[in-house]
Amino acid sequence: MQTETNSIIGQLPPPTQPYWSEDQRLRARWALNVVSILGVQTACANVPKILRLVKLWVNQRQKRTIFYVNAHCLNVANSDAAYFTILNQASLVYADGIGIIWANRFLHGAQSEMAKATGADWIEQFCTLAEMQKWRIYILAGRYGVAAEARRKLLQKWPSLQVVGVCDGFFLEKSEVQVLQEIQATAPHVVFVGMGTPRQEKWLTARREQIPAPVCWAVGALFDYVAGIEPRVPYWMNMLALEWFWRLLVDPKGKWRRYLIGNPLFVYRIIRQKWFSKS
């Protein structure tokens, strides 16, 4: 079966002239293939490639939006047409869960560099890069106080990190208007938004024109982990691809439907995509 791939560069607005004027080998260096997983174009990327793209896009000063997908996201997208469309309009959609990696291998083979890029796996590398590049960061995420506590924890480890503003993801600490005004005044290079799926993606899409930051990045519950509100999955469970089971153990009441019903449903939909692609 022929693998369904496209160049992600073809999906993006034209880069700025200094980058676009380089020779084709340099452009090819940044090219990423994307594959269709339940109709959502997902990048074959790992953490280093994602961070290189973020650095490139910050330097270009053109507006880019980054989303992630996991099995739950694609289950939601299956019944939410607006969210499905938003995902396919993003600058980059990457794999946040092991289910996406398995689905890619099952559907398209193991020919790509797609790797799980959960926020907890890349936040330290990002902060090291952001501190070195002197990027300004804005955090709009979590329940009341989570973003502020996350900033405190980040500054303990990266004292020179420029976190220019924070607010909870429900606009309790500040109004939405105040947050947008603060973002415009502080001119961050990267805005992190953690409101849960699909609210964060819909909010970013609706407000993107009002946010001057080169990169807007939906991150889900990332800053709950950074702030210490949510416990991180044990290393051995992560290595055995059991992060979903850990999250179910930590919050069975809130997560049972997502994993005990959602995971088998996702597997069924992936098998159905494979079956219909052969017919």
Beta bridge partners of 201: none
| pLDDT score recorded for residue 259 | 87
| pLDDT score recorded for residue 11 | 42
| pLDDT score recorded for residue 256 | 87
Neighbour order of strands in the sheet with 5-7:
5-7, 33-37, 40-43
| pLDDT score recorded for residue 205 | 97
Q: Quickly count: other Cβ atoms within 10 Å of residue 270's Cβ.
A: 21
User: Does residue 234 contact residue 244 with C-beta atoms inside 8 Å?
Assistant: no
| pLDDT score recorded for residue 277 | 75
DSSP result, 27-48: HHHH--EEEEETTEEEE---HH
DSSP result, 167-228: E-TTSSSS-HHHHHHHHHHH--SEEEEES-TTHHHHHHHHHGGG---SEEEE-TTHHHHHTT
pLDDT in tens, 163-200: 999 999 999 999 999 999 999 999 999 999 999 999 99
CA 237 to chain centre: 22
Instruction: Tell me what the pLDDT averaged over the chain comes to.
Output: 88
Q: Label residue 114 left, alpha or beta by phi (over 0 means left) and psi (-120 to 50 means alpha).
A: beta
**Measured between alpha carbons, how far is 193 from 205 in angstroms, rounded to an integer?**
11
User: Does residue 164 contact residue 138 with C-beta atoms inside 8 Å?
Assistant: yes
| pLDDT score recorded for residue 110 | 67
| pLDDT score recorded for residue 174 | 97
Q: What sign results for the dihedral spanned by CA atoms 67, 73, 71, 138?
A: positive
User: Does residue 201 contact residue 87 with C-beta atoms inside 8 Å?
Assistant: yes
Task: Identify the segments of the chain with pLDDT beneath 70.
Answer: 1-31, 110-112, 278-279
| pLDDT score recorded for residue 24 | 35
Q: Quickly count: other Cβ atoms within 10 Å of residue 2's Cβ.
A: 6
| pLDDT score recorded for residue 157 | 97
**Measured between alpha carbons, how far is 185 from 158 in angstroms, rounded to an integer?**
23
H/E element, 149: helix 146-157
| pLDDT score recorded for residue 111 | 58
CA 41 to chain centre: 13
Which residues are CB-contacts of 24 (< 8 A; sequence separation ≥ 6)?
none
| Phi and psi, residue 217, nearest 5° | -135, 115
pLDDT in tens, 25-62: 333 445 678 999 999 999 999 999 999 999 999 999 98
| pLDDT score recorded for residue 1 | 41
User: Does residue 168 contact residue 145 with C-beta atoms inside 8 Å?
Assistant: yes
| pLDDT score recorded for residue 278 | 66
Is the bond leading into 15 cis (omega within 30 degrees of zero)? Answer: no
